[in-house]
Amino acid sequence: MIHIITVHFEDDSWINIQKNFFEDNFSGEYKFYVSLEGIAPSYEHDSYFYKTYETLGRHHTKLNILADLVFMSEGVKDEDILIFVDGDAFPIKPIDVFITENLKKYPLIAVQRLENNGDCQPHPCFTATTVGFWKKIKGDWNKGYSWKNNEGQSTTDTGGNLLGILEKEKIKWLPILRSNKVNL
């Protein structure tokens, strides 16, 4: 089972696009856990989603709360895959094999936004891991842990604490780098 965690805020224009691209590019069983803050409750009868319309805090807080909801869901296993993805992000080709093969080598796969002034933390625009690993490390999307950016300044952002956990525990993860050189 794959548990997809995403946040949509005050705009529902990406929800069906994201849902359709996941349908087209995932062959396994999956379920969305979605924060729909500021969006009209028009997905009430959609069993595709576990959804909440409540104000849960900032983006990183919502991701952490939704992960906790996955853990409390019936039948969730440690080997289940956990995917965090931004509300306006989606796979454009089948990625099941990429995820399963790389999770055999690395406990966490994530976009790393080096093009964003050297942001080196795992980024939730796309991150994949297992439920068991996320629980084991007490995964945390909050800001806090800091690094030096390309200008030598100390900075933190969403995923900062996750980077801190990975560095402290000396856990090697697979960074996915942006390859689109035309439209950053």
Write out pLDDT tens, residues 163-178. Answer: 999 999 999 999 998 7
pTM of the entire predicted model: 0.90
DSSP string, 42-90: --TT-TTEEEE-S---SHHHHHHHHHHHHHHSTT--TTSEEEEE-TT--
Task: Please say if the pLDDT value at position 14 is more than 70.
Answer: yes
pLDDT of residue 16: 84
Q: How far apart are CA 71 and CA 9, in angstroms?
A: 23
- 123 CB-side CA count, 13 A: 17
The alpha-helical segments, DSSP class H, found in 26-169 are 59-72, 96-105, 131-137, 160-168
What confidence tens digit (pLDDT) does each residue in 68-122 have?
999 998 999 999 999 999 988 888 888 889 999 999 999 999 999 988 888 999 9
**What span, in angstroms and rounded, lies between the C-alpha atoms of 163 and 15?**
28
The 8-class DSSP code of residue 178 comes to P
State yes or no: pLDDT of 22 exceeds 80: yes
Q: Which two tokens stand for residue 148?
A: 């030096």
CA–CA gap between residue 79 and residue 11 (Å, rounded): 33
**Do residues 28 and 2 make contact, with C-beta atoms less than 8 angstroms apart?**
yes
Cα 7 from Cα 72, distance rounded (Å) = 19
